[in-house]
């Protein structure tokens, strides 16, 4: 995973007097009882950061399902100016191959 990209996302998100809103998918159940310390996590969770410089949304989808995000559900009136996607999908590989960052067109229709 290209850690510098993820650090850049958090740097842009958390600085400049930003506000934070936690986002949790209400339809997914927490995964729990993992590891020595019985850890748990929500499969789909994110953070919405707003500042004078812009809005950054960071979402983790550790579920096996494809999910869609509609900015209008969070009262965002404008489409994103950029979208970056980091997919780390091969956790069984022992080769050191960082997950590529994909730039998506936020105005494309699927």
What's the predicted TM-score (pTM) here? 0.64
CA neighbor of 68 nearest in space, from 88, 85, 92: 85
Mean pLDDT of the residues in the chain: 75
The pLDDT of residue 26 is 84
Give rounded-to-5 percent helix, strand, coil for the chain: 15, 35, 50
Q: What is the pLDDT of residue 90?
A: 60
The backbone torsions φ and ψ at residue 100, rounded to the nearest 5 degrees and listed phi first, read -75, 150
Structure tokens at 92: 């069984």
d(CA 3, CA 41): 21
Neighbours of 28 (CB within 10 A): 16
Specify the pLDDT at position 1.
Answer: 47
pLDDT in tens, 51-98: 887 778 888 888 888 877 776 666 666 666 777 777 666 656 666 666
Sketch the domain layout of the chain as residue ranges. Answer: 3-104
Q: Maximum CA pair distance of the chain?
A: 44
In percent, how much of the chain has pLDDT > 90? 0
- Cα 70 to Cα 5, 39, 43, 65, 74: the distances in Å are 23, 30, 18, 16, 8
Q: Which residues of 56-93 are buried (b: 16+ CB within 10 A; e: fewer)?
A: bbbeebeeeeeeeeeeeeeeeeeebeeeeebeeeeeee
């Amino acid at each position: 995973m290209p850690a510098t990209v993820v650090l850049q996302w958090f740097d842009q998100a958390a600085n400049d007097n930003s506000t934070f809103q936690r986002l949790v998918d209400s339809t997914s159940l927490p995964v729990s009882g993992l590891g020595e310390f019985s850890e748990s996590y929500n499969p789909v969770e994110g953070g919405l950061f707003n500042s004078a410089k812009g809005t950054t949304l960071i979402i983790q989808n550790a579920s096996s399902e494809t999910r869609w995000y509609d900015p209008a559900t969070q009262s965002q009136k404008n489409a994103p100016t950029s979208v970056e996607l980091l997919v780390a999908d091969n956790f069984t590989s022992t080769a050191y191959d960082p997950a590529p960052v994909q730039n998506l067109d936020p105005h494309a229709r699927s």
